[in-house]
Amino acid sequence: MENRNGIRRIVGSKNFTLVVVWALIVILFQIINKNYLSTDNIRNIFNSAFVSGTIAVGMSCLLISGQIDLSAGNTGMMAGVIIAFLLQTKMPWVPALLITLCFGAAVGLLNAFFANVLNFMSFISTLAISTAFAGLSLVLTNAQNIAISNRSFWELGSTNVLSIFPLPFFITIILLLIYGFILSSTRFGRRIYMAGGNRNAARLAGINPKKITTILFVNNSMISCLAGALMAARMHMGSPTAITGSDLDAITAAVLGGVAFMGGGGGMLGVFIGLMLLNSFNNGLVVVGLDSYYQIIAKGVLLIAALTLDFYREKSRLKALKESKKAIAA
């Protein structure tokens, strides 16, 4: 009986539903194009997933805490430009990467200052910073790509693990596992959920939501800079237009995977499934030869679908909470 109930819980979970949808997408595109599941194309899917996937790790934690960062994509893009400039001075790539991550920490503190000290809506303040970075990168580079000649740095973007996993994607998986553990098994993880679920209750429990979200803003910007640096390593250059918009892909993957857009819920397993569903779908559109304009439309539709799912999940959660309160009162 217990085994039967366990199977029902698994089949009824949102993660199981996502896995089924992901499998159907893969089967459909494999039927349309027999090369869809080739080793080379699977590697292409992983390569396309690592930027949005890496950003999704930090973004998901921030969303769960009740905040959002729309500057993540352009912060990562700036990181690629910065590390390219540093490497052109013949600086070794390790200190160049550390300086780039420090830039990310500074951006995170700036985002936290606007959100937690000035009490700006993070949606607006981070969008403003994103716009500023988009213009600043073009000014600094004169709208030109910055070549990187450091071959040891190239290896970060070109090395494959077990012949099929690009190193950047492998790093994404490691981050998903680490942050999944933090969210599910640590006191700090529980505080993130409490900060996003009910700020007043969190304060009564002795938790400082602003302190939590400050840490997460810094964390998110540093992870975004890591994603940008890895992309620069893969492209062998820093580009003022690279990975722009990847934060929206990260949000789509996170919300598809069950992360509550308004905070308080979600996990890294769902984020991984949402990430692979999104990138398998996008890659399938490329494989079947669909025009890039339609691919952009499809991404928008997926984001709307993800937000709609999140709306109904939140609605059903609030309804269940209300009914439980009535039952307790009775």
Q: 235-248: per-residue pLDDT in tens?
A: 999 999 988 889 99
Q: What is the share, in percent, of the chain residues with pLDDT greater than 90?
A: 72
Q: How confident is residue 296, by pLDDT bands cut at 50, 70 and 90?
A: confident
- What average pLDDT score do residues 50-66 get? 97
160 pLDDT higher than 60: yes
290 pLDDT higher than 90: no
5 pLDDT higher than 70: no
Distance between CA atoms of residues 221 and 89, nearest Å: 24
Burial class of residue 293, CB neighbours in 10 A (0-12, 13-18, 19+): exposed
Q: How confident is residue 298, by pLDDT bands cut at 50, 70 and 90?
A: confident
177 pLDDT higher than 70: yes
Q: How confident is residue 295, by pLDDT bands cut at 50, 70 and 90?
A: confident
1 pLDDT higher than 60: no
CB half-sphere exposure, 89, CA atoms < 13 A: 8
163 pLDDT higher than 90: no
pLDDT given at position 330:
59
- What average pLDDT score do residues 189-218 get? 94
User: What are 93-101's contacts with CB under 8 Å, separation 24+?
Assistant: 93/150, 93/152, 93/153, 93/156, 96/153, 97/229, 100/225, 100/228, 100/229, 101/222, 101/225, 101/226
Which residues share a beta bridge with 165? Answer: 161
pLDDT given at position 166:
94
273 pLDDT higher than 80: yes
42-329: which CATH topology? ABC transporter involved in vitamin B12 uptake, BtuC (1.10.3470)
pLDDT given at position 292:
75
Q: How confident is residue 167, by pLDDT bands cut at 50, 70 and 90?
A: very high
pLDDT given at position 261:
87
H/E stretch holding 31 reads helix 14-32
- What average pLDDT score do residues 97-118 get? 98
Whats the size of the chain, residue-wise? Answer: 330
Mean pLDDT of the chain: 90
268 pLDDT higher than 90: yes
3-state secondary structure of 146: strand
Q: How far is CA 260 from CA 59, 95, 253, 267, in A?
A: 12, 37, 12, 10
- What average pLDDT score do residues 42-47 get? 94
3-state secondary structure of 163: coil
